[in-house]
Structure 1
């Protein structure tokens, strides 16, 4: 099995061993989680369409990227699970000679605050020159690949809200705006039933945090926002769901409790317990 794993990861490195493919990966990391369409990638790289198709096919064959069709466009995005597994393989290979590490059974991705996790973070930081700010994306919890299309859209909308306000981070309040802004998911329906809409929530958020001075290309999640994402995975598992939807993100916000999103909801007079119970009822009825 170990030999097979080594061959598998050697194939991944071989797929990455091309300057155009590395540039494609850099672009897709910068556009994560929404991804990019072929035309935008081609405009950035200035390479023939046939050549670009060849490189995209190679990356997709190795599951380094994934594609989806929306209307007449094909979107490409990074497969974070494959990248995460690749980095974990490198880290774990480095610890094979350390019996103490094996006995502790530390998973540096799941346990970023252990000694091994801090070493792993340092390793990811060293990869930034290759892939850009990878760490802020890779600390997303295991299971992120199970986020529904609507939940993924919420993340993208949260980033847009951060840009709109000129902030340098995505916090729980931006996630909340993304949930109501998505419009059709379970979370948006539950929030709308409480009399909330994107306009009044934007006003309330701006009252609390104001406007910033500009947004970087790579927008990191705050620790509380990362915790919300982790809790959304946990809530999905607790409810026995095979996906992570907008309702799980909203439950994550409610369970995290200390973020700005909860303060905004409380200031708007929302009954947090009522929202949670409504989500649980809807989950049982499906």
Structure 2
């Protein structure tokens, strides 16, 4: 499949690995692919995301917040505060007892756990699925190549990863985004 990747798609995969390294992760997830699409000098996928109001710093902040369990969720925080629960205080006490990062979200089941392979950052099962879906998106558009635009279509089609949550939380209209990407690719 990688032989069909354009230079931009290959660069997205390489930059996703760099995004994982910067975040201190030993795996490449959907969030890293999304961040890679928004790196400086983006091609089709990144340009479409920029036109829809997303940028690398904004997405990076949201990803870090979600992974740390501190992403702004005003309704939950407000509801808990009304009954006297301070989330910040709870986090401090848990981390004092169990160590820094004790509440950070990790993989939920064995299949989604990251693993190391020859010193390289491997893909999570969801990220692998995104790359697989990028091929399906390319075939559906009758393209004999996979670009970063196809990777973005694959991210949206996967629908369950952290990248999808970031896109949804940003209030993006997925159908409009899909149409824009397909227009750019044709």
Q: TM-score scaled by structure 2?
A: 0.71
Contact 1:180 1:197 in 2 (8 A): yes
Q: Where does the alignment leave 5 or more consecutive residues of structure 2 unmatched?
A: 69-100, 105-114
Contact 2:134 2:150 in 1 (8 A): yes
Paired position in structure 2 for 1:209: 67
Once the two structures are superposed, residues 88-128 of structure 1 have per-residue CA deviations (whole angstroms, 9 ceiling, x without a partner) of xxxxxxxxxxxxxxxxxxxxxxxxxxxxxxxxxxxxxxxxx
Correspondence list, 1:30-41, <5 A: none
Contact 1:154 1:246 in 2 (8 A): yes
SS at 1:227 equivalent: helix
SS at 1:263 equivalent: helix
- Measure how far apart 1:244 and its partner are: 0.5
Contact 2:44 2:185 in 1 (8 A): no
- Report the Cα distance in structure 2 between the residues aligned to 1:177 and 1:184, rounded to whole angstroms: 11
Paired position in structure 1 for 2:15: 157
- Measure how far apart 1:242 and its partner are: 1.8
- Report the Cα distance in structure 2 between the residues aligned to 1:191 and 1:276, rounded to whole angstroms: 11
Q: Where does the alignment leave 5 or more consecutive residues of structure 1 unmatched?
A: 1-142
* Change beyond 3 A, Cα 1:168–1:219: same
- Which of structures 1 and 2 has the bigger CA Rg? 1
SS at 1:181 equivalent: coil
Greater strand content? 1
- Measure how far apart 1:277 and its partner are: 1.0
Contact 2:48 2:180 in 1 (8 A): yes
Paired position in structure 1 for 2:175: 273
- Report the Cα distance in structure 2 between the residues aligned to 1:160 and 1:184, rounded to whole angstroms: 15
Moved over 3 A (4+): none
Correspondence list, 1:21-100, <5 A: none
- Report the Cα distance in structure 2 between the residues aligned to 1:248 and 1:165, rounded to whole angstroms: 25
- Measure how far apart 1:182 and its partner are: 5.2
- Report the Cα distance in structure 2 between the residues aligned to 1:282 and 1:151, rounded to whole angstroms: 15
Paired position in structure 1 for 2:74: none
- Report the Cα distance in structure 2 between the residues aligned to 1:184 and 1:277, rounded to whole angstroms: 18
Once the two structures are superposed, residues 165-204 of structure 1 have per-residue CA deviations (whole angstroms, 9 ceiling, x without a partner) of 1111100000000111153310011000011111111101
Once the two structures are superposed, residues 54-84 of structure 1 have per-residue CA deviations (whole angstroms, 9 ceiling, x without a partner) of xxxxxxxxxxxxxxxxxxxxxxxxxxxxxxx
Paired position in structure 2 for 1:166: 24
Paired position in structure 1 for 2:184: 282
- Report the Cα distance in structure 2 between the residues aligned to 1:169 and 1:182, rounded to whole angstroms: 22
Once the two structures are superposed, residues 12-71 of structure 1 have per-residue CA deviations (whole angstroms, 9 ceiling, x without a partner) of xxxxxxxxxxxxxxxxxxxxxxxxxxxxxxxxxxxxxxxxxxxxxxxxxxxxxxxxxxxx
The answer to whether 1:239 aligns with 2:147 is no
- Report the Cα distance in structure 2 between the residues aligned to 1:184 and 1:219, rounded to whole angstroms: 22
Q: TM-score scaled by structure 1?
A: 0.47
SS at 1:273 equivalent: helix
RMSD: 1.7
Paired position in structure 2 for 1:194: 52
